[in-house]
């Protein structure tokens, strides 16, 4: 997940989890669930924006790490978390978690996980945060163990320390379980690339947590690299020298030992835009740069202003099973997700027995169209 600026709208993301088994060890959960990421640290949240009829779990993003402890990330956190937990009155199945870290606030993880003493401090503060806000669980978004991420402190020892931290979190959450309440949830967000797997003990982690939320998006990011491409395609495109895709990532995590019933497929409700230097292949896997000024590629704007409008033609990559927009006159390429690609991902989730789909973020689709496709496709 990524942290967003205070000027951003209240951002929601929802994870829709489906069930299908791959054998006794991969037996699916008894019911499909919907987990939602809600970004609201810098503004008051309108709980009416949360479609609690389609959501069974909400992850509030983000809590921060200061002096080795989990703390509120913004001045509206207590108010927003109270609004979210209040939704349980009308929707008793709804479970509210807090997500800590994210792209911007992962700098304190390595120090927090460094020693038994520092882990105990972090874990105690995490449990206290959960109790303080009457939450149902805890989501760890460390981006990334053993890797710099956003210029963060990192160590080779993060690999083993991450496992120890999650194990101690699991034990403490279970021990502090309020009477009459379900077992607290523990989840984490996972980078969908090989280097992430190389720096974590994924098989051990999968045994500890309830869900592994696989961030199968941002395969290509404008500005960070010069070559355009799909940023959340289901299958590889032959022109992609990385062969990046959701399917590639899922297979790698499954082979590394993550049970299908715990693996959650990530999908984006936003796009990635490039200003291309050539019109070849309609901009697909060609040299380009971040457009200036930046383009709002939320699905809200794409669907309302750009798809089939203002010179943007909707294209379909049959091999990658992914849509994209191409503006031939301005040479603008935009990779994004739409109902057709999401429907195919729902089919993929069912076929492969995955836990479901996570998306970041509902605030980027105020039409509710993408959530409806996921909920209908997986429930």
Q: Any idea which residue has 């936003």 for tokens? A: 270
Radius of gyration of the chain (CA): 20
Three-class SS state of 230: coil
- CA-to-CA distance for 325 and 333, rounded, in angstroms? 6
- State whether residue 221 is helix, strand or coil: coil
- Chain length of the chain: 379
The burial class, CB within 10 Å (0-12 / 13-18 / 19+), for 254 is: middle
Task: Considering the candidates 69, 72, 143, 201, report the single residue annotated as catalytic.
Answer: 143
What is the rounded distance in angstroms from the CA atom of residue 193 to the CA atom of residue 70?
27
Distance, in Å, from the CA atom of 79 to the CA atom of 359, rounded to the nearest integer, reads 24
Backbone dihedral angles phi then psi of residue 102, each to the nearest 5 degrees: 85, 175
Judge whether 143 counts as a catalytic residue: yes
Planar angle of CA 194, 200, 205, nearest 5 degrees: 120
CA pair distance 216, 193, nearest whole angstrom: 9
Catalytic machinery residues: 143
């Amino acid at each position: 997940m990524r942290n967003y600026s205070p000027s951003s709208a209240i951002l929601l993301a929802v994870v829709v989890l489906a069930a299908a088994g791959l054998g006794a060890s991969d037996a699916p959960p008894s019911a499909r669930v919907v987990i939602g990421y809600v970004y609201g640290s810098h503004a008051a949240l309108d709980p009416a924006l949360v479609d609690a009829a389609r959501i069974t779990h909400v992850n509030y993003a983000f809590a921060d790490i200061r002096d080795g402890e989990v703390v509120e990330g913004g001045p509206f956190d207590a108010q927003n978390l109270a609004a979210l937990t209040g939704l349980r009155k009308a929707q008793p199945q709804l479970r509210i978690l807090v997500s800590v870290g994210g792209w911007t606030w992962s700098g304190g993880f390595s120090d927090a996980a460094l020693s038994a003493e520092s882990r105990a401090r972090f874990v105690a503060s995490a449990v206290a945060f959960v109790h303080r806000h009457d939450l149902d669980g805890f989501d760890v978004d460390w981006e990334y163990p053993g890797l710099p991420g956003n210029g963060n402190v990192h160590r080779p020892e993060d690999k083993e320390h991450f496992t120890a931290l999650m194990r101690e979190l699991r034990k403490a959450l279970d021990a502090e379980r309020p009477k009459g309440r379900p077992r607290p949830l523990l989840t984490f967000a996972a980078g969908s690339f090989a280097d992430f797997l190389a720096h974590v003990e994924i098989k051990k982690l999968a045994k500890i947590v309830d869900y592994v939320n696989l961030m199968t998006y941002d395969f290509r990011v404008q500005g960070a690299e010069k070559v355009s491409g799909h940023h959340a395609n289901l299958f590889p495109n032959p022109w992609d020298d990385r062969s990046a895709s959701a399917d590639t990532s899922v297979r790698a995590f499954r082979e590394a030992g993550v049970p299908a019933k715990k693996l959650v497929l990530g999908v984006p409700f936003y796009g990635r835009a490039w200003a291309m230097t050539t019109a070849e292949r309609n901009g697909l896997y060609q040299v380009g740069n971040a457009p200036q000024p930046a383009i709002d590629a939320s699905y809200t704007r794409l669907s309302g202003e750009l798809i089939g409008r203002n010179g943007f033609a909707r294209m379909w990559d049959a091999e990658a099973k992914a849509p994209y927009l191409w503006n031939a006159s301005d040479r603008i390429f935009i990779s994004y997700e739409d109902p057709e690609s999401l429907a195919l991902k729902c089919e993929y989730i069912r076929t492969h027995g995955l836990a479901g789909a996570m998306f970041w973020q509902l605030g980027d689709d105020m039409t509710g169209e993408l959530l409806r496709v996921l909920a209908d496709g997986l429930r």
